[in-house]
Protein backbone atom coordinates (compact mmCIF):
# COMPACT_ATOMS: atom_id res chain seq x y z
CA UNK A 1 0.00 0.00 0.00
CA UNK A 2 1.26 3.46 -0.89
CA UNK A 3 -0.07 6.99 -0.86
CA UNK A 4 -1.47 6.33 -4.35
CA UNK A 5 -3.00 3.01 -3.39
CA UNK A 6 -3.80 3.30 0.29
CA UNK A 7 -6.16 0.31 0.39
CA UNK A 8 -5.49 -3.39 -0.13
CA UNK A 9 -6.65 -5.04 -3.36
CA UNK A 10 -10.13 -6.63 -3.25
CA UNK A 11 -10.25 -10.19 -1.98
CA UNK A 12 -12.38 -13.14 -3.02
CA UNK A 13 -16.12 -12.58 -3.05
CA UNK A 14 -16.63 -14.52 0.16
CA UNK A 15 -13.88 -12.61 1.95
CA UNK A 16 -15.22 -9.30 0.63
CA UNK A 17 -18.67 -10.10 1.96
CA UNK A 18 -17.93 -11.83 5.22
CA UNK A 19 -14.53 -10.50 6.23
CA UNK A 20 -13.31 -7.52 8.19
CA UNK A 21 -10.54 -6.32 5.87
CA UNK A 22 -11.56 -3.09 4.17
CA UNK A 23 -10.53 -3.63 0.55
CA UNK A 24 -12.86 -1.43 -1.50
CA UNK A 25 -13.69 -2.42 -5.06
CA UNK A 26 -13.30 0.71 -7.21
CA UNK A 27 -14.89 0.75 -10.67
CA UNK A 28 -13.02 0.99 -13.97
CA UNK A 29 -12.66 4.75 -13.45
CA UNK A 30 -11.24 4.23 -9.95
CA UNK A 31 -14.44 5.46 -8.28
CA UNK A 32 -16.97 4.28 -5.72
CA UNK A 33 -20.55 5.60 -5.50
CA UNK A 34 -21.32 7.20 -2.13
CA UNK A 35 -24.74 7.82 -0.61
CA UNK A 36 -24.85 10.58 1.99
CA UNK A 37 -27.81 10.67 4.35
CA UNK A 38 -28.64 13.25 7.01
CA UNK A 39 -27.94 12.29 10.63
CA UNK A 40 -30.77 14.66 11.58
CA UNK A 41 -33.59 13.71 9.22
CA UNK A 42 -32.42 10.41 7.71
CA UNK A 43 -33.16 11.65 4.21
CA UNK A 44 -30.84 10.92 1.29
CA UNK A 45 -28.94 14.15 0.64
CA UNK A 46 -26.82 13.30 -2.37
CA UNK A 47 -25.15 10.60 -4.42
CA UNK A 48 -21.54 11.36 -5.26
CA UNK A 49 -18.28 9.53 -5.96
CA UNK A 50 -14.98 8.96 -4.18
CA UNK A 51 -11.64 7.90 -5.57
CA UNK A 52 -9.05 6.29 -3.27
CA UNK A 53 -7.69 9.66 -2.18
CA UNK A 54 -11.10 11.09 -1.33
CA UNK A 55 -11.92 7.93 0.62
CA UNK A 56 -8.60 8.05 2.47
CA UNK A 57 -9.01 11.73 3.39
CA UNK A 58 -12.57 11.14 4.57
CA UNK A 59 -11.43 8.31 6.85
CA UNK A 60 -8.46 10.30 8.14
CA UNK A 61 -10.29 13.58 8.78
CA UNK A 62 -13.91 12.56 9.40
CA UNK A 63 -14.93 15.23 6.86
CA UNK A 64 -16.56 14.17 3.60
CA UNK A 65 -14.31 14.41 0.55
CA UNK A 66 -15.47 13.43 -2.92
CA UNK A 67 -14.13 13.18 -6.45
CA UNK A 68 -15.76 15.73 -8.71
CA UNK A 69 -16.34 14.04 -12.05
CA UNK A 70 -17.17 17.32 -13.80
CA UNK A 71 -14.15 19.20 -12.44
CA UNK A 72 -11.92 16.12 -12.35
CA UNK A 73 -10.45 16.90 -8.98
CA UNK A 74 -10.65 16.08 -5.28
CA UNK A 75 -13.29 18.11 -3.58
CA UNK A 76 -13.79 18.69 0.14
CA UNK A 77 -17.53 19.09 0.54
CA UNK A 78 -18.23 22.70 1.51
CA UNK A 79 -14.87 24.09 0.46
CA UNK A 80 -16.66 26.77 -1.55
CA UNK A 81 -20.18 26.83 -0.17
CA UNK A 82 -19.28 26.39 3.51
CA UNK A 83 -21.69 23.46 3.70
CA UNK A 84 -19.19 20.90 4.97
CA UNK A 85 -20.25 17.41 6.07
CA UNK A 86 -18.97 15.85 9.29
CA UNK A 87 -19.15 12.07 9.00
CA UNK A 88 -21.03 10.52 11.90
CA UNK A 89 -20.84 7.00 10.50
CA UNK A 90 -19.38 5.33 7.43
CA UNK A 91 -20.42 1.92 6.14
CA UNK A 92 -19.56 -0.22 3.16
CA UNK A 93 -21.79 -2.75 1.43
CA UNK A 94 -21.65 -6.51 0.90
CA UNK A 95 -19.21 -6.47 -2.00
CA UNK A 96 -17.42 -3.31 -0.85
CA UNK A 97 -18.17 -1.33 -3.99
CA UNK A 98 -20.34 1.38 -2.41
CA UNK A 99 -20.20 3.65 0.64
CA UNK A 100 -22.92 5.00 2.92
CA UNK A 101 -22.11 8.14 4.91
CA UNK A 102 -24.33 9.45 7.68
CA UNK A 103 -23.42 13.13 7.93
CA UNK A 104 -24.02 16.23 9.97
CA UNK A 105 -24.08 19.34 7.84
CA UNK A 106 -22.33 22.54 8.78
CA UNK A 107 -23.59 25.84 7.47
CA UNK A 108 -26.90 26.10 5.69
CA UNK A 109 -27.79 22.37 5.87
CA UNK A 110 -27.86 22.33 2.11
CA UNK A 111 -26.12 19.44 0.39
CA UNK A 112 -27.14 20.41 -3.14
CA UNK A 113 -25.31 22.94 -5.28
CA UNK A 114 -28.71 24.35 -6.27
CA UNK A 115 -29.14 25.49 -2.66
CA UNK A 116 -31.55 22.77 -1.58
CA UNK A 117 -31.18 20.57 1.50
CA UNK A 118 -31.09 17.42 -0.64
CA UNK A 119 -30.32 16.85 -4.31
CA UNK A 120 -33.45 14.68 -4.45
CA UNK A 121 -36.06 17.46 -4.54
CA UNK A 122 -38.26 16.03 -7.31
CA UNK A 123 -40.65 13.08 -7.29
CA UNK A 124 -40.99 10.70 -10.21
CA UNK A 125 -44.69 9.75 -10.25
CA UNK A 126 -45.39 6.04 -10.61
CA UNK A 127 -47.82 4.52 -13.05
CA UNK A 128 -47.65 7.42 -15.52
CA UNK A 129 -47.27 6.77 -19.27
CA UNK A 130 -43.51 6.81 -19.79
CA UNK A 131 -43.39 9.45 -22.50
CA UNK A 132 -45.10 11.93 -20.28
CA UNK A 133 -43.46 11.54 -16.89
CA UNK A 134 -43.65 14.95 -15.25
CA UNK A 135 -41.51 15.53 -12.17
CA UNK A 136 -43.05 17.11 -9.06
CA UNK A 137 -41.05 19.38 -6.79
CA UNK A 138 -41.02 18.43 -3.08
CA UNK A 139 -38.93 19.81 -0.20
CA UNK A 140 -37.39 22.10 -2.80
CA UNK A 141 -36.98 25.32 -0.83
CA UNK A 142 -33.54 26.81 -1.31
CA UNK A 143 -31.46 27.16 1.86
CA UNK A 144 -29.03 29.44 0.11
CA UNK A 145 -28.79 31.36 -3.14
CA UNK A 146 -26.25 29.56 -5.33
CA UNK A 147 -25.49 32.69 -7.33
CA UNK A 148 -24.43 34.52 -4.18
CA UNK A 149 -22.65 31.61 -2.54
CA UNK A 150 -20.64 30.58 -5.57
CA UNK A 151 -20.22 34.26 -6.54
CA UNK A 152 -20.98 33.90 -10.21
CA UNK A 153 -23.95 32.63 -12.09
CA UNK A 154 -22.06 29.81 -13.80
CA UNK A 155 -22.12 27.91 -10.53
CA UNK A 156 -25.88 27.89 -10.42
CA UNK A 157 -25.85 26.40 -13.89
CA UNK A 158 -23.61 23.59 -12.80
CA UNK A 159 -19.99 24.53 -13.47
CA UNK A 160 -19.24 24.28 -9.77
CA UNK A 161 -21.70 21.56 -9.13
CA UNK A 162 -21.44 18.92 -6.49
CA UNK A 163 -20.00 16.11 -8.57
- Binding residues (CB under 8 A) for its own copies: these are 1, 6-8, 13-14, 17-22, 33, 35, 37, 42, 44, 46-47, 56, 58-60, 62, 87, 89-95, 98-100, 112-114, 116, 119-124, 126-128, 130-131, 133-138, 157-158, 161-163
We find the least distance from the C-beta atom of residue 108 to its own copies, in angstroms, to be: 16
Could you tell me if 117 and 139 are in contact, meaning their C-beta atoms sit under 8 angstroms apart? yes
CA distance 84 to 109: 9
- How far from chain centre, in Å, is Cα 121? 15
CB burial readout 66-100, b (16+ within 10 A) else e: bbbeeeeeebbbbeebebbbbbeebebeeebbbbe
We find the least distance from the C-beta atom of residue 143 to its own copies, in angstroms, to be: 14
Closer Cβ to its own copies, 60 or 79, answer by number: 60
Could you tell me if 111 and 121 are in contact, meaning their C-beta atoms sit under 8 angstroms apart? no
SS3 (DSSP) at 31? coil
We find the least distance from the C-beta atom of residue 83 to its own copies, in angstroms, to be: 14
We find the least distance from the C-beta atom of residue 137 to its own copies, in angstroms, to be: 8
Amino acid sequence: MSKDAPFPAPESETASEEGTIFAPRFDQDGLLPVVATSAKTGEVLMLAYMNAEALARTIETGEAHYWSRSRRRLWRKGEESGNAQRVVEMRTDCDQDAIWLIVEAAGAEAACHTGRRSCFYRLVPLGAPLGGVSLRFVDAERQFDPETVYRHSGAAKGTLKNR
